[in-house]
Structure 1
């Protein structure tokens, strides 16, 4: 009975998200048409590039992997009443940790655990500043993102640099790499790990005492405290769990993506996933299961962009269309977030 009611509660947000996708796609088609491009051919190419073959679909799933994990970081914070945007910097250190540890312990589990642990540790300063000094998490996490960017760049190019290729770090040793799920693609076991992680977070958030305390602290901290929950402890856990998933995203990105299995050109192949994860979380309504589908949607947009360009649509216009669809789909989740924040502030 509880499962039935739970599924019924998802019907409205799912319907809103589907409607938003259709609206975003329609507005995007109008923009293409008024700009002189064939919208039907462009969208056909986008779908073909994302789902038209096994290799294309594998690329879609591969690109969705880090987005799912960084979106969970933001979603956990949002459910706890926080606006945690520190996933970006945490991804960098998750990747650095995996590169560093696997040079000595050539086992994929070692790299995964290193990314998770370092990710949690990197989030702790922002958590402590929020809980004990009242520093707003948006300010602190933005600052820590910049610290992470320059420190991780130095580590990648000066400490763990590849002597055979100064534009990349030392590669992940073959024994520590994640196996590919589809030959001649970049889809590896990392995608399965990301899905399992999302399911585990769902179980924790909706079916454990800790998850209940996190969510009640976000909805009404005074009521949560009255009920025996310590909102400060809930905030600390929110940052720590979020750091774990973002650090895992960085580790998986270097351990599961061929051919280099390294951090290349500074932080090029791990840059931006933390920020993009915010949009994925909003599209998924800040719910771990919704984030899985939202992540695949974003992965499809990224994977199909190249083929969309082949119809004559320039890259800039492709990004415009992606942005329109993403904004339209994110609006319902954004309204939910603002509504929850308003209720929390007035309680």
Structure 2
């Protein structure tokens, strides 16, 4: 019994130690880069981590930044578990955001029902946007990377059209009508942008964990990704798994978009520039990889990345680091943390293709 517990602890400790070592490497490379450009790296890092993790208010704000990243991370990792490269969270998130703001800003409903209805419609919009990807993949064999990239761009310009001509705010056509008070997630901590949307995101991630590791269908998802030939031999309908997999990813991305327009004051609408949602779908891929493509890992990785995003604003304001340098430092840290997880994934895929 004790040997089994010790084995489990060692199994859990290894990725933690690998990640810690990778963070240190990323910080050192970032420090060297800042020093070369005349910045004080220690002062910059002080404000980076103080802003993201140094106070209760900072932690709550970090959680606010992390909320949509948990969900876009789920979109990628669920696909990966079945051997699918779903990089369409960006477009699916745009559609979820416009669906949520449409119901939240133009349809009057009672409190409680309103926020639930707007959230569900946002999720359904994300699901609808992934349907062509699933259909083309299952019945035509079209690679999902091609179709998701194309639909991401289509979603961007389609949503911009809807913002300007279908649900514009009077006198401010570059943004939508704001979500009504009854359609907003309640605030958790005054003075931050954290709302109850974070609980919805965490619950969704936990639900995906239970689904993947505690249900028969979840086992079929994982077996399909690990060994498609074995899955076929076991009688699993691969096309059904792929179709359902993409639909779940669309729901997660649609929920991410909903949380941004209903749960991130003062961003209560959706801007033509896609402020508040832009690039979060792509960022979710990095979050999933850092979290070792595990739903609980995605929660922790999103919290870490959210801290870098929020702390980065403090690093710019207090340490005088330029915005470009701040983004470069964040990228270096994320790349360093992701590498230990990326390399085994690449080796595994190459081995499965050769086999």
TM-score range, shorter chain: over 0.9
Provide the residue aligned with 1:316 in structure 2.
Answer: 324
Q: Tell me, yes or no, if structure 1 residue 329 matches structure 2 residue 331.
A: no
Residues 6 and 264 of structure 1, relative CA distance in 2, 3 Å threshold = farther
Residues 131 and 8 of structure 1, relative CA distance in 2, 3 Å threshold = farther
The answer to whether the 8 A contact 1:161-1:169 is kept is: yes
Of 72, 77, 80 in structure 1, the residue corresponding to residue 79 of structure 2 is: 77
The answer to whether the 8 A contact 2:34-2:40 is kept is: yes
Residues 301 and 260 of structure 1, relative CA distance in 2, 3 Å threshold = closer
Q: 1 CA distance for matches of 2:320 and 2:98?
A: 39
Q: What does residue range 7-46 of structure 1 map to in structure 2 within 5 Å?
A: 9-46=11-48
**RMSD, matched Cα:** 1.6
Deviation at 1:105, TM superposition (A): 4.8
Provide the residue aligned with 1:55 in structure 2.
Answer: 57
Deviation at 1:35, TM superposition (A): 2.3
Q: 2 CA distance for matches of 1:105 and 1:243?
A: 26
TM-score by structure 1 length?
0.96
The answer to whether the 8 A contact 1:219-1:340 is kept is: no
Q: 1 CA distance for matches of 2:269 and 2:245?
A: 29
290-299 vs 12-21, greater mean Cα deviation: 12-21
Unaligned runs of 5+ in 1: none
Deviation at 1:17, TM superposition (A): 1.7
SS at match of 2:175: strand
240-249 vs 252-261, greater mean Cα deviation: 252-261
Residues 7 and 146 of structure 1, relative CA distance in 2, 3 Å threshold = farther
Of 339, 344, 347 in structure 1, the residue corresponding to residue 352 of structure 2 is: 344
Residues 212 and 325 of structure 1, relative CA distance in 2, 3 Å threshold = same
- Post-superposition CA distance 1:219-258 (Å, at most 9, x none): 1101011112111111111101000000000011100111
Deviation at 1:7, TM superposition (A): 6.0
Provide the residue aligned with 1:185 in structure 2.
Answer: 192
Q: 2 CA distance for matches of 1:150 and 1:318?
A: 29
Q: 2 CA distance for matches of 1:137 and 1:336?
A: 22
Q: Tell me, yes or no, if structure 1 residue 213 matches structure 2 residue 220.
A: yes
How many residues end up aligned between the 2 structures?
346
Provide the residue aligned with 2:98 in structure 1.
Answer: 96
Deviation at 1:342, TM superposition (A): 1.8
47-56 vs 177-186, greater mean Cα deviation: 47-56
189-198 vs 27-36, greater mean Cα deviation: 27-36
Unaligned runs of 5+ in 2: none
The answer to whether the 8 A contact 2:290-2:337 is kept is: yes
- Post-superposition CA distance 1:259-307 (Å, at most 9, x none): 2411024412211110111111111111111111110111011101121
Deviation at 1:76, TM superposition (A): 0.7
